[in-house]
């Protein structure tokens, strides 16, 4: 069903071993969203989405070790490092209520619990401990930690995220 909406699900961070495996950062709560797929699309330098059959995808800590057909050695996959991976929306598993795919969050309007509009969520930075949401409004950029006590609610239907900023985060 390659005509359905494509969803950004991860980024190829590097290679793994010498047999053409790729180390992928998943852009969802855990690796299960990628490990259940039969096909993924890798974004080319020209922005085209190239389809590849998934031979295997296994969780490896917070990463996924992905093997794509027809690759079977490291030299064949080096050019894929740094590229984004997409999947058909309909082929992705439903996530628990408190988890979201990154592409669902991008574009949300972010406000504080006091009603102060902070701007639009334009990027997500993956760190070792927690993600960080990049919110922009004009020239102002706010980095918000994606923590349970900071992100109070996410309403995809309304396109809004409500946050309680840590003390001093916006003090200029």
Domain locations along the chain: 6-91, 106-163
**Domain 6-91 classified CATH 3.40.640.10?**
no
pLDDT of residue 3 exceeding 70, the answer is: no
Which CATH superfamily is 106-163 part of?
Answer: PRC-barrel domain (2.30.30.240)
pLDDT tens profile 31-68:
667 777 889 999 999 989 999 999 988 888 778 899 99
Rounded (5°) CA angle 48-49-55? 150
For a pLDDT cut of 90, what percent of the chain falls above it? 47
> Going by C-beta distance under 8 Å and a sequence separation of 6 or more, which residues neighbour residue 128?
none
Q: What is the pLDDT of residues 63-109, one digit of tens each?
A: 889 999 999 999 999 999 999 999 888 887 777 777 787 878 889 99
């Amino acid at each position: 069903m390659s005509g359905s909406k494509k969803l950004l699900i991860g980024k190829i961070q590097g290679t793994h071993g010498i047999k053409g495996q790729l180390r992928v950062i998943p852009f969802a709560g855990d690796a299960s969203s990628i490990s259940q797929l039969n096909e993924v699309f890798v974004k080319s330098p020209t922005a085209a989405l190239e389809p590849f059959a998934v031979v295997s995808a296994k969780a490896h800590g917070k990463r996924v070790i992905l093997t794509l057909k027809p690759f079977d050695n490291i030299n064949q996959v080096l050019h894929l490092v740094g590229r984004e991976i997409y999947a058909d929306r309909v082929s992705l598993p439903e996530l628990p209520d408190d988890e979201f795919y990154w592409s669902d969050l991008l574009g949300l309007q972010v406000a504080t619990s006091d009603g102060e509009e902070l701007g639009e969520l334009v990027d997500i930075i993956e760190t070792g401990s927690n993600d960080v949401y990049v919110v922009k409004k004009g020239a102002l950029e706010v980095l918000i930690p994606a923590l349970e006590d900071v992100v109070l609610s996410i309403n995809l239907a309304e396109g809004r995220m409500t946050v309680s900023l840590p003390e001093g985060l916006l003090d200029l």
